[in-house]
Amino acid sequence: MRHGQSAGNVARDLAEAAAGHRIDIAERDVDVPLSDLGERQSDALGAWFASLPAAQRPTVVLHSPYVRAAETANFVMRHLDRDGLCVREDERLREKEFGVLDRLTTHGIAHDFPDLYEQRHHVGKFYFRPPGGESWCDVILRLRSVMDTIEREFAGERVLIVAHQVTVNCFRYLFEHLTEAQILEFDRNGDVPNCSVTSYEFDPEAGKRGDLALRLVNFVAPLEETGTPVTVAKDVASAPNA
């Protein structure tokens, strides 16, 4: 799942609407907290998890160390039996790092770094790595090691991962064995909503030795059913189409 709406999401929307160059937020990206709405979204999703049959609730929670993701995980876990949970913070689940483009809007990137703006459009987001930052391929590389950890330490468990938009998309690329073109098409079709769930279940009949089968994609019904607004704002550091 992606974290709830953050204060950075709100600041980005305001900056983009005003055609500004820089997002007005003082914290490091890692320190950006949830907005009030993000807290409500996280709480609504936690109540939904608690409403599931015991055999379907998470037994393991892995979350990004970024404040907005950690806060989301904590809101969800308030509704669950903490004694039955294994909880770990994992830096490999952090959002894509944007380097020199951090906190810049599309207008800001085009104004401050026109060469990088052009290079990004030429290379494409999957392979483009801004100075001091990461490409999607870099994120995928560290997530491969997360998958190894899950297979080694949590086989047979129900694992909830609380992370970020690019992280969710890159997990989809790995779990569903997608191509660059396929995952970028999903990304073009729309952002990952805040507090949405994309889920997989092991299917012993899939593949040669069994594989993960997709069950839910960007599932936001728990928010809609409680009247909690659904938001799809990008993370604070990520320029649109980054």
Taking Cα atoms as reference points, which of 109, 110, 112, 137 lies closest to residue 123? 137
Cα separation, 214 vs 201, whole angstroms? 7
Helices (H), 62-214: 67-77, 106-112, 114-123, 136-153, 165-175, 180-188
In angstroms, what is the C-alpha Rg of the chain?
18
**Would the annotation count 68 as a binding residue?**
yes
Is residue 232 a contact partner of residue 195, using CB atoms and an 8 Å limit? no
Is residue 182 a contact partner of residue 162, using CB atoms and an 8 Å limit? no
Cα separation, 216 vs 48, whole angstroms? 14
Cα separation, 76 vs 37, whole angstroms? 14
Half-sphere exposure of 120 (CA within 13 A, CB side): 22
Taking Cα atoms as reference points, which of 37, 92, 35, 32 lies closest to residue 67? 32
Cα separation, 154 vs 148, whole angstroms? 10
Binding-site residue positions for substrate:
68
Which residue numbers belong to the known binding site?
Answer: 68
